[in-house]
Chains A and B, each alone.
Chain A
Amino acid sequence: MSAAPLVETRELEKQFPLTRTAAEYFAGKPRRAIHAVDGVSLSIQPGETLGLIGESGSGKTTFGWLVARLHDPTSGAVRFDGEDITSLKGVDLRQWRRNVQVVFQDPVGSLDPRLRVWQIVGEPLRAQGMNERSEVRRRVGELLPTVGLPVECLDQYPHEFSGGGRQRLSLARALSVDPKLVVLDEPTSALDVAVQAQILNRLVELQRERGVAYLLITHNVAAVRYVADRVAVMYMGRVVEVGSVRGVLERPVHPYSKALLAAVPIADARRRRTRFRIGGDIPSMVNLPAGCRFAARCPFVVDRCRSEYPELRAVPGLPGQRAACHRAEELLEVTPETLLKSDETPKEAPSAGAGSLTKPTGY
């Protein structure tokens, strides 16, 4: 964390306003909003991968879009190379866009079915002022082998590719303008295991060759483990934990991180998990609770959690890791496995009060 960060967000907020009914409008009720991203401060170093994990609806995609300036933030700032990009406009904004590119989740929907490969992959080049058709084709022809596609497919259409092939096209398109940061929004969630491994390998190799930074947004913990250097866990618009990939995945501090990791099925029949204990869904993002947002589902909740929001703070003994939990120190010994009921006698976690663990919170 010594060098100047490539991207730095400060208290970034994005709200999506809801429409009021006529009755609410005339009654003078305030307009309510979905707090998709609610005060996120994160940074990405040049050439590093920040993994962002969380359930759907936690605001991780919105955060990615804010960083790429595909959304305008409600408040807060995004600094890119020290420059605030939230106020960029017109030509400046267009020129800045060469720095950040996005690979979208849906490999079918994000490629225009009526364009040929060279037109799709070359579109960012044209937007950045490369107008010569032969020049674009030459550049795209150079790019395709780097993502593992043959040059011969320049004149093919996206439907001729498999899911993995389409995702490679998206990746080639994102890399065409030599960006400093690529936002990868669920790059492998539509792919099979074998294809996923190919794409993940390619991502890591490309990062080594080009020094590009990634913001990897996914709910796939295995992908994050392989690609990321640091990991941030998001829940309901807030970052609940951030740290090195080994730190967060092996010694998660926040109860939500533990729950998320406990929920990941392991492809190993000997280590068969039994019962998962965190019940319920993500609560409404409109009426946010005052205290910790995980309080309603947390098995370790105390009164303080419901009234006072825990700030992201350093955890003693775990350098570089920060968590937003009042009870971080007490819960260090609780592993993700403790959040799974064993089939025999239910074990009590060392620091939890009796009864609080076995009670499923709001199925």
Chain B
Amino acid sequence: MTEPTVSIRDLSIHYLVGAGRFHAVSNVSLDILPGHVVGVVGETGCGKSTLAQAIPRLLPEPPATIGSGEIIFRGIDLVKVPRWKMPMIRGTGISMIFQEPLNSLNPAFRIYDQVAEAVRIRTARERGGIQLARSEVGPFDYAQRPMPKASEVLTHPILPSGPVERAAQRRPNRAEQVRREVLEALRLVRINDPETILDLYPHELSGGMRQRIMIAMALSEKPSLLIADEPTSALDVTIQAQVLTLMKELIEEVHTSILFISHDLGVVAETADELGVMYAGRLVEYGPVAEIFESPRHPYTKALLRASPTRYKSEGPLSSLPGSVPNLSRPPPGCRFHPRCPIARPACSVEPGPKLALVEDAHPEHRSACFYAQEVPNLP
């Protein structure tokens, strides 16, 4: 059993809205293993983006509040880390790609400066300039700082002799090295002629290029967890296909864990190893992606899969899900899907609702939060 890169345990997040609470994420547990791509799908408002942003603690707190649960990353519970320490973890272990590439690049800086920032943070971290996240998190204790050894002090003069040498000592061709790494990062994301691109501003690039720059920035920090929040939703299909192809190649090359958030089942089917389906703040189904597409074990997943239009109008109407997503300020009791569910029974509306559990006759890693998961394959 390998240690998961990130392990989310029973996470609940709510937003304070007026006098009430909006329960965006409720009791979600998720493990992402090293090198695995975990997809999370769901409709708008199901809490998938809240989940994505909660991991690097990017949610505005308040109004967002992490009610309970833990996010274990490299042995630290990120929920308990004080806010001022988060930048150290964000830059060094977790990277994020956002949906709208134009809004997430700074329009006032050239591409070079933006990618170089990521590279500099990483090199600073590798040199020890930025403290790596340690398992015991507390204020820095000067008393515990190790005393320098005599041999170190003797071989490294404390002050270099002249100003030029001093500068050379401090930064051995660092600018050149950063530039080289930036170019390498851009080549990694298949950008032709990176030398020219470096001096451009984000508005001079197309959407696909911008998204590739975002990926380059995220990867040049060499993260162990990459969170991609709808990375291709703002792009055209052909450009989306290019970016997805690139991401798949990078998954093989870079071998990092990825949390891939999308509302597009097709996109997730192409990239993810494991798939989680979210509905109204809960994870309702989780398992290997092929299993879920082949035999979904939650009525919601089944309805979602059947709603994608794959037929002509002469072949009859599309199946659609009756009703609408519940208001999460007052979520329905028990299973949150029961008001729209075709196989709902009285037991479904009783608290606590069904928990994510293994399904008996399904794949050994296939979990579903439905009391009647065995009946789902027989649904029309």
Contact = CB atoms under 8 A, between A and B. Distances in A.
B79 interface: no
A270 B296 CA distance: 14
A266 B266 contact: yes
B319 to A, nearest CB: 7
Interface string A79-102: 000000000000000000000000
Contact of B270 (A56, A273, A281): A273
B317 A267 contact: no
Contacts of A264: 237, 266
A226 B312 CA distance: 4
A281 B208 contact: yes
A264 B267 CA distance: 9
Contacts of B83: none
B103 interface: no
A253 interface: no
Interface stretch (B124-132, B144-152, B239-247): B239-247
A226 B241 contact: no
A162 B324 contact: yes
Given A55-B238, A204-B317, A262-B241, A268 B309 contact: no
A279 B242 contact: yes
Contacts of A260: 237-238
Given A198-B320, A225-B311, A276-B242, A265 B303 contact: no
B304 A269 contact: no
B318 A275 contact: no
A259 interface: yes
Nearest to A281: B206
B192 interface: yes
Given A227-B313, A265-B240, A281-B239, A197 B318 contact: yes
A267 B238 CA distance: 16
Given A55-B237, A204-B317, A222 B289 contact: no
Interface in A240-294: 245-246, 259-260, 262-270, 272-276, 278-279, 281
A273 B292 CA distance: 17
Contacts of B192: 362-363
Given A163-B44, A226-B309, A276-B241, A267 B266 contact: yes
A269 B313 contact: no
Contact of B269 (A196, A201, A246, A272): A272
Interface residues of B, number: 48
Interface string B252-279: 0000000000011111011000000000
Contacts of B209: 281
Contacts of A269: 269, 289-290, 292-294
A269 B303 CA distance: 17
B307 A194 contact: yes
Contact of B238 (A163, A226, A263, A270): A263
Interface string B278-307: 000000000001101110000000011101
B245 A276 contact: yes
A268 B318 contact: no
B190 interface: yes
Contacts of B248: 274-275
A265 B244 CA distance: 10
A197 B242 contact: no
Interface string A167-211: 000000000000000000000000011111110110011000000
A197 B309 contact: yes
A221 interface: yes
A219 interface: yes
Contact of B265 (A162, A195, A267, A362): A267
Contact of A270 (B206, B208, B264, B290): B290
Contacts of A362: 192
Nearest to A189: B233
B262 to A, nearest CB: 10
B312 A265 contact: no
Nearest to A227: B313
A361 to B, nearest CB: 10
A259 B242 CA distance: 11
Contacts of A273: 270
A52 interface: no
B320 A363 contact: no
Contact of B237 (A162, A219, A270): A219
B196 interface: no
Contacts of A276: 238, 241-242, 244-245
A329 B325 CA distance: 50
Nearest to A271: B269
Interface in B307-333: 307-313, 317-321, 324-325
A326 B244 CA distance: 31
A234 interface: no
B308 A267 contact: yes
B317 A265 contact: no
Contacts of A274: 245, 248
A241 B310 CA distance: 21
B132 to A, nearest CB: 35
A272 B97 CA distance: 23
B165 interface: no
Given A269-B290, A272-B269, A363-B191, A192 B44 contact: yes
B365 interface: no
Nearest to A279: B242
Nearest to B300: A194
B245 A194 contact: no
Question: Across chains A and B, which 5 residue pairs bring their CB atoms closest together, nearest first?
Answer: A265-B266, A263-B241, A267-B265, A276-B241, A197-B320
29 contacts: A55-B238, A56-B236, A162-B325, A193-B263, A194-B303, A194-B320, A194-B321, A195-B324, A197-B318, A197-B320, A201-B317, A201-B318, A222-B309, A225-B309, A225-B310, A226-B318, A260-B237, A263-B240, A263-B241, A265-B244, A265-B264, A266-B266, A267-B305, A268-B293, A269-B292, A269-B293, A275-B248, A276-B238, A276-B245
Interface of B: 43-44, 190-192, 206, 208-209, 236-242, 244-245, 248-249, 263-267, 269-270, 289-290, 292-294, 303-305, 307-313, 317-321, 324-325
Interface of A: 55-56, 162-164, 192-198, 200-201, 204-205, 219, 221-223, 225-227, 245-246, 259-260, 262-270, 272-276, 278-279, 281, 362-363
